[in-house]
Structure 1
Amino acid sequence: MKLLLIEDDIPIGTSLQRVLRSAGYNVVWLRHASDAKKFLASYSFDLLLLDIMLPGESGLDLLGWVRARGDATPVIMLTARDSINDRVAGLDGGADDYVPKPFAIEELLSRIRALLRRQCKQLTASWQVGPLSIDTARRKVAVDGVEIKLTAREYDILLALALDAGKVLTRAQIERSASLLEGADSNAIDVHIYNLRSKIGSHLIGTVRGVGYVLENA
């Protein structure tokens, strides 16, 4: 999952980026609203973490710009301004959640997971696709109740397929959804799919020749 963090405080931004990456997220960290606009005009993200008090344009200004362009990406506001009026302004401006500073990192991670589940219409932290279960809170995968060890990239690709189980995804769609690094070897997806099949069972991931791959949902 790809997150955009907009936070001008260097110690906070550095710490958040490290923690979020440790939790398995692909994080882009920016310090100014103007830079965020440039990124959002060219790239899509699964969730935005947005500080209200930014230099120049405020986080509320950026939030208004995001929603005005029809972008429904989930937004969590991060700010030391925790008055009722500030919270109302953020939520009424289109934010999905509001976390006042200082906050417990476990609570923030839980709120992130909850919003991402809601975005994908997932009701719990666990996906069940046939014999396959994916615990998105702990990044654990099991087949018929037996835990399977996956690399971070294998997990990301499997989750991308699980989000659209039963639907054929092209290599490009999988790359975007799994947030693979730009310029990756064109055979990277094929290699990871091969490794996934060897671990979870070749029958669970089908190939549609000339199109892409599908996670079987039965």
Structure 2
Amino acid sequence: MPVIRFAALGDSFVEGRGDPGLDGPFHGWVPRLAERLGIPSQGVLNLGTYQATTQHVVDHQLAPVLANKPPVIGVIVGVNDLVSDYDPERFRRNLTTIYSSLRGVDTTVFTAAYPDIPKNLAVPESFRDLLRQRFGEANAVLREVTAATGALCLDVTAIGEWSHPRMWAEDGLHPSVLGHRLFADQLTPFVTGAMGLVPPAQLVAG
């Protein structure tokens, strides 16, 4: 059994949709970040699942990660809660369960704020306004929970590149190839800085 050094939990953003793979259906930011961190593919556990919600992560993804408890854990989930069956109390409860369960002395847990995905969607303005309200509330909850549990939260809402259409696939929900690459690039110094590591220059630039 290979030793898992990096695990990623979440939805299709983690799965890699929007970034077609050469040897599988998708590539995505997870293997790119692993490469930049010097982690071989056999040391990566990617549990990203299409249409996964926070409840799905609690019910199906936490256990295998806790069984391995790798030193680096990424979590990107919640958009499917926000655009479908949104329950604010359940959302907060699930995020609290996820990040509280994953915290550890020798574990770096990271996530990212929810970007302005509603801007990308072909929906009525009234629904777009509702979604933006939900995303704003969700970001406030995410920041609160991560601060309380010691998880890192990359604030992509403050990064101008994410407003560019080229960073998104045609569906507006998933990053494009450029978006997945950008996310890996932005996470590299964020994660390595927290771990006190300096990744090889050739991996950062790749």
TM-score class normalised by the smaller sequence? 0.3 to 0.5
| More RCO (CA 8 Å, sep 6+) | 2
**CA radius of gyration, larger in:** 1
Question: What TM-score comes out, normalization by structure 1 length?
Answer: 0.44
More helix as a share of residues: 2
Question: What TM-score comes out, normalization by structure 2 length?
Answer: 0.46
